[in-house]
Structures are given as structure tokens and as C-alpha cells.
Amino acid sequence: MAGGITIALDAMGGDLGPEAVVGGASLARIRHPNVHYEFHGDEKLLAPLLETDAELKAVSSIHHTDVAVSMSDKPSQALRAGRRVSSMWLAIDAVKQGRAQAALSCGNTGALTVMSRMILKTMPGIDRPALAAIWPTMRGESIVLDVGANVVAEEKNLVNFAIMGEAMARTALGQPKPTVGLLNIGAEEMKGNENVKGAAQVLRNTDLEFEFYGFVEGDDISKGTVDVVVTDGFTGNIALKTAEGTARLIGDYLSNAMRRSLASRIGYLLARGAFNVLRKRMDPSSVNGGVFLGLNGVVVKSHGSATAAGIASALDLAIDMARHDIIKKISADLETVHTDEASAGEATAEPEPVAS
């Protein structure tokens, strides 16, 4: 594995099962020839799938387990049944053991949040990890976090999300000095809830490696007003899914409109190339994958319904994060800020996991 990296995959998560996971790795292997894949799951299912791609098989290993976390398990059920033995746990543990530089799962978000946190632990100064997503915008791409790891986020959590998000923007978007905005219901200073207003106050008065833009609104995400949009996991998850739903609705409108008349059908055929470009840009799988930030290791969550193409995109992200050693970058940034803030002397209670 000299010069290469290893990604540990929970091959049993997701709605489409091991076939989509192995198919995703097949696609990713072509784009990233130096990466090794460690598949965790049922060998009886995985071995025949790997037989179909000799080149993938050559850079892969199978780690057998019978236990898989179900998509409908509560985190507490998933832990009871899957601690130390499930494919999800074992994939994350490969990162902890240093065998893999990132883990990927399309399984149950709640279980993945709780297990990742239990195995990898949060970085010093972080009590809540966040799930960060890459969002297509008019200017390119932005990072939005938290999109669902936590239901609530206090002032301090939002500040940490900003720091983790800008480290990811430097890595994933290649922005040397990213701009960061706090999602709110108005750009005016007096608007918003107390946590958002408090976090803005801290970010305005801290000396950071990034530019704090201030408040942004929902439509600023797609505009690309800032590189990093910070919000709590409740609002962020709803915003992300609302955007996905809107894209699907417009796709539906478009295909209905194109079927209206003979002229529009001919027009559609002529503009087919353009429509394919559009479809690709609108396809949620082309930007699939959220990264858990704030843990001592990289864990990427792929959409539960991701196809092989979607899983390949999530693998691109996992490989990118591993290659650029994002954990080291976040640690360094957190250290700067927490040294600055040491005088504030905040006590941090152990928070509740996302669901019990």
C-alpha cells in the first residue's frame, strides 16, 4: 500500500445492499488506482461480487461478519446488536486501528453517528461532531454543516462547526481563505434565535483563519454567497432534503412539459445533450456523501438510497479527505481558536446522542 490509502466500507448498509457498495468501489477504482478497499460484511455475498471485477479484487480485502445494522434500528438497538461485531462498527474500527484512513457507510445515520463517536471519540474541545455536505451552487460548491448529526446546536457548537467547516473547505474546495456564514432568517443582526446570535458574536470577535461573513439566508446556499454555511442539524437536514425535493419536483415539471407537444418532443431530442448535462448536475448522487467532522478519524455517510454512482461520489469525498489529512488540519485550527478562547473557560457537559 506504499503511497496509497485504504478505505474501509460497511458493505451491508444502504437500501441497495452490497451490490451497490461493490459497484461504487468498482467505479472509484478507475478514478483512484492507488486506493485499497476493505469490505466489511457477509463474505458469501461479497466474494462473488468481487469476482466480477478482477482489478477491484486485486486491491480489496473482505472482512467477514454476519451482523448488519438495519436501516430502521434505533441507535440503541444498533449498539446492542452490533457493537464490536457489525459491519458498520468494524469499518469504523479499521480507522481507529490505523488500517484505514477513512470509513464509509450508507447505513442508518443515527447508528453511524453514535458508533463513530464511540469508536473514534471527538477531538479535544469538540463535544458534538457534525455531518457536513457539499452543496452545488451558482459559484461552484459550498459546504453546509450540520446536516443531521445533532438535533440541537448551542452557540459553542455552532462556533466549532464554523472552524471544522472552514478546514474542510480548504481541503475539499481548495479555498485558501474560505468565507463562513451562519444560516438565519434574515441578514439583520437582531434576527434569529439566541444560539445563532451568540455564535455570530463569538465569530465576529475571534481571530480566525477564515472570513466570517455574518448571517446568510436559505437562498444564499444555492447562490454560493459563502463557502461554508453553518447551522444546527435539525435545520440543516430539513434544508438539504427540501432542496433535494425541489430538484425532483422541477425535474418532474420538466419532463411533463417536454411531453406536451410534438414540437417540444422534437426540441427535447435536439437538446438531449443539454438535458443530459442538466440531469447530471441535478442528480443528488453526483454530490452524494456527508463527512462527520470533529472526530479523530474520517467517516463518510452516503445516502441510504445511493446507487453505485452515488457511492462512487461518496468514495471520491472519503479519498479526498483522507489524502489531505483533514483531521490534522481541523486539529490545528481548533487549537488556535481554543487557545484564544481559553479565558472564556467554558465547561462542556457530555451531550445526549442524536437519539436513544
Q: Which residues bind a second copy (CB under 8 A)?
A: 72, 74, 110, 136-138, 148, 151-152, 183, 185-186, 188, 190-193, 217-223, 231, 233-235, 237-250, 252-254, 257-258, 260-261, 263-264, 266-275, 277-278, 281-282, 354-356
Edge-to-edge strands of the sheet including 228-230?
60-64, 35-41, 5-10, 102-105, 298-301, 290-293, 130-137, 140-145, 228-230, 179-183, 211-216
Identity of the amino acid at 119: I
Closer of 84 and 259 to a second copy (Cβ): 259
Q: Is the peptide bond before 146 cis (omega within 30 degrees of 0)?
A: yes
Q: How far is the CB of 251 from a second copy (least distance, A)?
A: 8
- The vertex-293 CA angle with 287 and 296, nearest 5°, equals 130
Q: How far is the CB of 149 from a second copy (least distance, A)?
A: 10
CA distance linking residue 83 with residue 87, whole number of Å: 10
The burial class, CB within 10 Å (0-12 / 13-18 / 19+), for 259 is exposed
Q: How far is the CB of 94 from a second copy (least distance, A)?
A: 27
Q: Which three cell numbers stand for residue 256?
A: 411533463
CA distance linking residue 173 with residue 289, whole number of Å: 15
DSSP state of 172: I
Closer of 190 and 349 to a second copy (Cβ): 190
Closer of 65 and 231 to a second copy (Cβ): 231
Closer of 59 and 271 to a second copy (Cβ): 271
Q: How far is the CB of 153 from a second copy (least distance, A)?
A: 11
Residues paired with residue 125 on neighbouring β-strands, in sequence order: none
Residues paired with residue 143 on neighbouring β-strands, in sequence order: 134, 228
Closer of 45 and 71 to a second copy (Cβ): 71
Radius of gyration of the chain measured on its C-alpha atoms: 21
Closer of 263 and 347 to a second copy (Cβ): 263
- Tell how strand 35-41 and strand 290-293 pair up: unpaired
Q: How far is the CB of 306 from a second copy (least distance, A)?
A: 15
Q: How far is the CB of 133 from a second copy (least distance, A)?
A: 13
Closer of 81 and 254 to a second copy (Cβ): 254
Q: How far is the CB of 18 from a second copy (least distance, A)?
A: 24
